[in-house]
Structure 1
Amino acid sequence: MIKPIFCLTTALLCFFSVFAHTITGTVTDEKGRPLPYASVQVKGDNRGTTTNSQGRYLLEVNASGSVVIVCQYVGYARQEKTVSIEKGGEVNFQLQPIQAVMKEVVVKSGGEDPAYAIIRSAIKKRPDYQNPLDSFTCEAYIKTLVKTRKLPNRVLGQKIKDADKKEMGVDSAGKGIIYLSESLTKIAYKKPEQLKMEVISGRESGGNGYGFNFPTFINFYDNNVTVLTSTLAPRGFISPIADGALKYYRYKYLGSFWEEGKEITQIKVIPRRKYEPLFSGTINITEGEWRIHSLDLMLTKQSQLEMLDTLQVKQIHAPVTNGVWRTKDQSLYYTFNILGIDAVGNFLNVYNKYDTRPQFAKKYFNKILVAYDTAVNKKSAGYWDSIRPVQLEPDEIKDYAVKDSIYKQQQDSAYSTAYRDSLRRRQGRITVGSLVWEGFTRSNYHPQHPFYFTWAGPLKHFYYNSVEGYVVNLQASFTKVWKPQGKTLSFIPHVRYGFGNKHVNSWASLNYYRYPKGAAGGEGRAIDSWELRGGKRVSQFNPQNPIGELLNSAYTLLEHRNYMKIYENYFGELRYTKRFDSDVRVTGSILYENRMPLNNLNEYSYFKKDRVFSPNYPYEQLSSQFTKHQAVVANVEVQYKPGQRYIQYPKQKVAIGSKYPTFSLAYSKGIDNVLGSDVNFDKWRFAAWDKVNFKIMGAFSYRISVGGFLNNNKVNIQDYQHFNGNQTLFASEYLNSFQLAPYYANSTTASFFAEAHVEHHFNGLLTNKIPFFKKLNWHLVAGANAFRVNASNHYTEVFAGIENIFKVLRVDVVNGYWNGSNGTVGVRLGFGGLIGGSMKVQ
């Protein structure tokens, strides 16, 4: 039996050896310098390869006899060589700059540059080339590399230790590769907007991650071009051949050259104004067809580029069928220097194996946008050597070898105990500082069943209020994870002590989370969860906690203002949350509270002692403190975002959003005569919210809601409908509060109310015309908030401000109108911009 198999294997190897050959070589410029990421392919075959940063390439050829090898590089004349497969050997290319073969063009005085006529023709043909195929499939090889050129000694005050540098893979000077990944993704497309990506394989140096495997589609036939992610520029960038491009760009004719019987015109692209989302560089257009042949374009800080200092895009387009061209090679080079971290990187995409007449199975296109193969990160080094179209650099080979070896050792069962011991030792000793201020986390680092203990530094939770005096909060958490089973259990105790009223409040929560099997421990979102809480605590009358304790402490001590109103309660609550595959989320809870009033302790503050604290209850609604009572309240909420698309990982499915808003319907029932409950009400609320990016015109965010009481027979102040106010200098949550409204003056038990919050982030529109602002990249923001209960209870405020100050801060001027009265004006400071926009106000 073995002999026939051996013979068959030998025959197959001989058969494929006739057709499978490898051609290698180097691509250089006219001075012998290597040309990185040049395109190399067999003529007539849309499969090809790309040179590495040293100009080296390796090309697999499935043919015999002679073939023609084509080499291209943006800005250089294409070169072809006929190669005899049987002879083998190196096939090197030395390309000449296009300028050496371009004819001279004379532009007459006062006449228009010939480039404008060519660009107009390209703009006219743009819609034809935007999505020329009804359907297609292809493969994208993606390599991602990030290298540091310099690291500071400290980042945000934290010293970078030598051990940390070693773990990152950089030398003592801070130079080296900190991220390296490869992936192979199959892309399928069908008009009008059906897209699916199947990640066949992916790897990360020094780990078992999937790598960066989303192809970077940069379509310059789109009017508005997204590069990498909208975070780098929420407005996008205007294509040099966009419909309105002539208003934004100037063009200069550089000449033309010939390729395969086609004349290619090279045009210089020049932004008309600085600090607009515009490219600069060169774009090559085919005469007569007016399509993009290749391009080399640059973005800088003057292009309103965020985070990165520079970003260079190079593309080479090639025919995939008669009359249809697609991007064959695309490379992105970028640099950034943030907090002293000086780094460079690149994203290389090589598109191969185009099929312009694919046959898709029924229901192939569905809500899964990206699907990962179950063995995506389990491919061997030999597999990668066989499919990689770009040769690795020497330092990349070393990075894989060293980091993968270390990772393998860490995962090896014989080594795991020693490795876990080293990790535990690296946690360091518990110091007085970590015990009282920073806090600390300790883990046993078990690979399958890790345990975590976290201690929160109490001085970070040390507050003051007019009721309890100085307050200290002690909090810890104990978490056990069962990764194979996809389960997590946490126990979180709290102890609160008021030094003024000498009250001790202690409560705890027990949380159980269920994840897809193998994905526990915070990896992705839980399928469902249970939460059991109980004990004695201090709560604000508005359960949404409209003012944080730290901010209230500052105002109480410095301004003699006690905005936070609190009460004590013994409570017990059971909450369950379930996420369905349709991304419907259902939350249900039952709450018991024994509510007890608290009164102000004294009038102490540092300054402005002539003022008097207001009563410790919503005095706008109540003439005196509420009486002790019990409440049993049941709550249910259904949240749904239609049209969700998903990423299907090997062990879980994650929603990534849709073009539709999120809808929420909530209902609360106050249950009378159960466990002594003194409440009887029915309350409902419907809400919708979303953020819509209008690209060049900015982004629009909104949140609208309506609701009311169906029954308000017995409603205590804690169960009113509260509108989140704000009476401090610091902004509260923008799309869920009113920046100048009092905290409880508008609370209601009415049968109907409506609430709306809207704001528009201009993201550089308009401010890029103002000299001071455009250099700082500060942005305008404007909007309005309003609610209405009835003719005698309504409020509107409008605001305008500047955000993205140091990427974090935002300042607004707000004008509020209460019941139609003359406006009151205030200033609010908050978070907003590239980084600040993702920060949550506490």
Structure 2
Amino acid sequence: MMKYLLLSLLLFVAVQTQATLIKGTVSNQKGERLPFATVMIKGTTNGVTTNADGVYHLEVAAGSYTIVCQYMGYKKVEKAVQATGAEVQADFVLEPVSLQIREVVIKSGGEDPAYAIIRQAIKKRSFYQQQVKKYTVDTYMKLQAKMRKMPKKVFGQKIDTEDVGVDSTGKGIFGLSESVTRVSYEAPNTKLDVISSRQSGGGLGFSIPATISFYDNNVEAITSQLGPRGFISPISENAIFYYKYRLEGSFMDDGKLVNKIKVIPRRKYEPLFAGHIFITEDDWRIHSTDLMLTKEYQLELLDTLVIRQTHVPVTPEVWRTKDQVVYLALKMFGFDVVGNSVQVYSNYNLHPVFPKGFFNKVIMKYEKDAAQRGLQYWDSIRPVPLEADEARDFKVKDSIAQARRDSSRSRYHLDSLRKKPQPVKLDDVVLNGWGHTWYFRRDTTIQAHRFNMRSLIRGLSYNTVEGVSMVIEPSVTFSLPNRRVLTWTNNVRYGFNNTHLNAYTGLRLFGNNEDGFGSRNVWTLEGGKKVQQFNRENPIGPIMNSLYTLLLKENYMKLYEIWFTRAQFSRNFQNAMHLSAEVNYESRIPVENTTDFVVFKDARKTFTPNHPQELAALPFEREQVLTVSGMLRYQPGQRFIEYPRYKQAIGSKYPTFTLQYTKGFIDGDFDKWKFSVRDDMNFKLLGALQYNLSAGGFFNNKSVSIPDLQHFNGNQTFYNIKYVNSFQLAPYYQYSTSAGFYAAANVEHHFNGLLTNKIPLFNRLKWNLVAGSNAFYVNRANNYVEVFAGLENIFKVIRVDVVAGYQSQADTRIGVRVGFGGILGSAFRFE
């Protein structure tokens, strides 16, 4: 009898605790579905959000609930629901709020009543910004990126729709991920614990919630790349100088009066929002937002970015963000892309207790099984139902990925890979480079050795020592056991005019990376004969030197030949410290000019000797020099993302420090040191500052040859890319020294639209001002200062500087330099 009573009791408890699925749609009175509406359990912050089709799913335990549905611009609706285990259908039909227009008489020269509300909100801004000292919250985030149109080629390169992840017409979802992250905050620290994460096709998805706070004076919209200066909040300290406001009406929400205020930028080309902000009466807090950024208001890369937020009370005194939806649109280079990010916040705890040491250098940590959650888990926790095409995308791409993983273990797959080598085409040999892959099986996986060859065109150059020079660089990468990698590189160079053949080879072994991302040992051994510049930092590249030599009869590149052997060990540590040690033997051979061929002859000009003319008093003869050197680079305060198998450093607010030391032996007898500090600092509205400060010299300079001098990277061409590491108008070798001490500074400030956004034409083009100075000091006779101002972000990639250079023993120089700079400038480089 007792047995049956216990079974009956267990059955009763199971029925009573069985979860109930409440599902439905949210639409307006016209039958139009309302996307991303908020559906919550009354009296809590637990709830869900409708998807783009206005569909929601809410799972609750058995009991009686009042379900609240709200959507910006519509009246809040409540429904009583009895959850008994069976599925419950609860559809919501919302009607627009009836905006009450206040009877306020605006006298001549008066202002809209919205300004009084905004001033009150500004007064309360810092209070609400700092109101909550600590909390935890669970955040669900779904990201979707969809291609509406895609070109067949970009910059002459054919695009494979399969690689992008869209259909044969170039349309469809190409990016889809979802994650659940617990956010823990205790001023001023934040820590993210990723409970689960996945992306369509397998692997970890994007899991960093981009919570946007309009209580901040300066708002970062997702990432600084979209606006390096940030964007001014409509209730920032000085917002009234940037915005106009109009009160469009008020409505009641749970007994509280809410004001709908239109936000209007006063001027174009400032980093400003447009749209609506909803402010509650009396307590003057943000109720919700519907704000937009466009290219006219300093939005970069994207055409539009819309941010919609709903705030709800966690307690009567504290309101927090319940959901945030970000829409984006982009048309560039023939691509037409739209996307959205949906974030739903739940389980706020305003009084958490954090153990000692909880906040540390790891600011984001993935649970070990974060990427291993099954479909049943995701269906049970997802607060935003997948749209039909999203569910299809997950199913199809996950299946394809699994099939590929299964196939990769099969003999058939291995054989098919071996039977389908990529054919070598003439244009690849000449223009693009080519290679071959050998597939093989190791344990249960298929791995590969790869052969690569640079294109012939990239190996062609011209200089006055070799004439036409051809470089061939074949390399082979070997996949070794335990995730180690060995690369075998070769360099064969032939000068057609001096008929010198130079060749060297090298091996580089990369450790197994078992103790963390980037934390590995690297051993390098190479030797042979090669040609190199006297300044090993290569201040002028082969392309620019070839152009100047052939077209303008200026041979700036100065070379010598060496037989050499070099051994190096380096290690990257998990704390982002980098350590290296090197032994290098060189048998140096001077070389001379062997050709004076130019395309455009100019009798007024003659080529300078290959020996740097600025160092004519310092002889360079055959010599043997052995150097032993070490380098330590460290950036303190590193923060990390901890993945299940490794850590990844993500930067620090502190600068990077580098210490170098070199000792010379045999024909060389010197001790050389250098200490440098480098940093990038973003001051948001005031722009960004970059600097590189260094000091160094020779403790001992008994015998220092030209290659071992301290060289300052000069530049005598119109083109420069070594910003914050060069002197734009300085001759290449005029200031080279073996002095006991020198100091150098490179500083530049990127205004990022701070001044040019007020100048007609420039503000439309988004050409930004950059200015700075480069200087070094050795002694009274050897010093140099230059100042420059220029424009960058021209066509998103070009930078043009006007430079004035001053040296105490020479006349002031004026010049123009062109390089790459701007939002996309770093992606373009050629030397």
Query: TM-score band (shorter)?
Result: over 0.9
2:728 aligns to what? 739
Number of residue pairs matched by the alignment: 820
2:524 aligns to what? 531
SS in 2 for 1:214: coil
Pairing 1:131–2:130 present: yes
User: Where do 1:418-817 residues align within 5 Å?
Assistant: 418-419=412-413, 428-444=422-438, 447=445, 449-482=447-480, 485-517=482-514, 524-610=517-603, 611-623=605-617, 626-671=620-665, 677-817=666-806
Gaps of 5+ in 1: 672-676
Q: Deviations over 1:359-415 (max 9, x none)?
A: 212211110011111222111111111111110011111111111111100000576
Deviation at 1:609, TM superposition (A): 4.0
CA distance in 1, matches of 2:410, 2:794: 47
Q: Counterpart amino acid of 1:294?
A: S
Counterpart among 163, 172, 175 of residue 171 in structure 2: 175
CA contact (8 A) 1:409 1:415 kept: no
Pairing 1:259–2:256 present: no
1:284 aligns to what? 278
CA distance in 1, matches of 2:776, 2:809: 12
TM normalised by structure 1 equals 0.94
Deviation at 1:88, TM superposition (A): 5.0
CA distance in 1, matches of 2:580, 2:554: 36
1:74 aligns to what? 72
Following TM superposition, where does structure 1 have runs of at least 4 consecutive aligned residues deviating by more than 6 angstroms? 7-10
User: Where do 1:136-175 residues align within 5 Å?
Assistant: 136-160=135-159, 164-175=160-171
Deviation at 1:486, TM superposition (A): 3.0
1:206 aligns to what? 201
CA distance in 2, matches of 1:710, 1:558: 43
Cα 1:417/1:254, change in 2 over 3 Å:
farther
CA contact (8 A) 1:237 1:278 kept: yes
Q: Counterpart amino acid of 1:559?
A: L
1:30 aligns to what? 29
Deviation larger for 280-289 or 320-329: 320-329
CA distance in 1, matches of 2:103, 2:131: 33
User: Where do 1:285-364 residues align within 5 Å?
Assistant: 285-364=279-358
CA contact (8 A) 1:321 1:356 kept: no
Cα 1:13/1:493, change in 2 over 3 Å:
farther
Cα 1:468/1:821, change in 2 over 3 Å:
closer
Deviation larger for 571-580 or 221-230: 571-580
Cα 1:113/1:101, change in 2 over 3 Å:
closer
Pairing 1:194–2:192 present: no
Cα 1:425/1:440, change in 2 over 3 Å:
farther
CA distance in 2, matches of 1:11, 1:481: 58
SS in 2 for 1:651: coil
Q: Deviations over 1:107-156 (max 9, x none)?
A: 42322111111111111111111132221111111101011111112211
Deviation at 1:419, TM superposition (A): 4.3
Deviation at 1:18, TM superposition (A): 3.1
Q: Deviations over 1:181-212 (max 9, x none)?
A: 11111111112x1111111111111132x111
Deviation at 1:793, TM superposition (A): 0.5
CA contact (8 A) 1:513 1:526 kept: no
SS in 1 for 2:431: helix
SS in 1 for 2:465: coil
Q: Deviations over 1:668-700 (max 9, x none)?
A: 1112xxxxx201101111100101101011101
CA contact (8 A) 1:105 1:255 kept: no
Deviation larger for 317-326 or 25-34: 317-326
TM normalised by structure 2 equals 0.96
Q: Counterpart amino acid of 1:157?
A: G
CA distance in 1, matches of 2:115, 2:721: 51
Q: Counterpart amino acid of 1:155?
A: V
SS in 2 for 1:243: coil
CA contact (8 A) 1:236 1:696 kept: yes
Deviation larger for 214-223 or 67-76: 67-76
CA distance in 2, matches of 1:764, 1:837: 18
CA contact (8 A) 2:99 2:249 kept: no
SS in 2 for 1:508: strand
CA contact (8 A) 2:773 2:787 kept: yes
CA contact (8 A) 1:271 1:278 kept: yes
Deviation at 1:555, TM superposition (A): 0.7
CA contact (8 A) 1:443 1:451 kept: yes
Q: Counterpart amino acid of 2:175?
A: Y
Deviation at 1:16, TM superposition (A): 6.4
Cα 1:425/1:214, change in 2 over 3 Å:
farther
Counterpart among 401, 409, 415 of residue 407 in structure 1: 401
Q: Counterpart amino acid of 2:321?
A: T
Pairing 1:217–2:216 present: no
CA distance in 1, matches of 2:527, 2:807: 39
CA distance in 2, matches of 1:458, 1:622: 36
SS in 2 for 1:412: helix
CA contact (8 A) 1:546 1:732 kept: no
Q: Deviations over 1:294-338 (max 9, x none)?
A: 000000011111110000000001122341111110000000011
Q: Deviations over 1:222-259 (max 9, x none)?
A: 00000110001000000000000000000000111111
CA contact (8 A) 2:519 2:573 kept: no
Identity, in percent, stands at: 48
Cα 1:439/1:120, change in 2 over 3 Å:
same
1:674 aligns to what? none
Q: Counterpart amino acid of 1:755?
A: A
Deviation at 1:526, TM superposition (A): 4.5
CA distance in 2, matches of 1:10, 1:592: 85
SS in 1 for 2:692: strand
SS in 2 for 1:365: coil
Q: Deviations over 1:753-812 (max 9, x none)?
A: 010000010111111111211111111101010000000110000001010011110001
Deviation larger for 46-55 or 321-330: 321-330
Q: Counterpart amino acid of 1:758?
A: V
Deviation at 1:507, TM superposition (A): 0.7
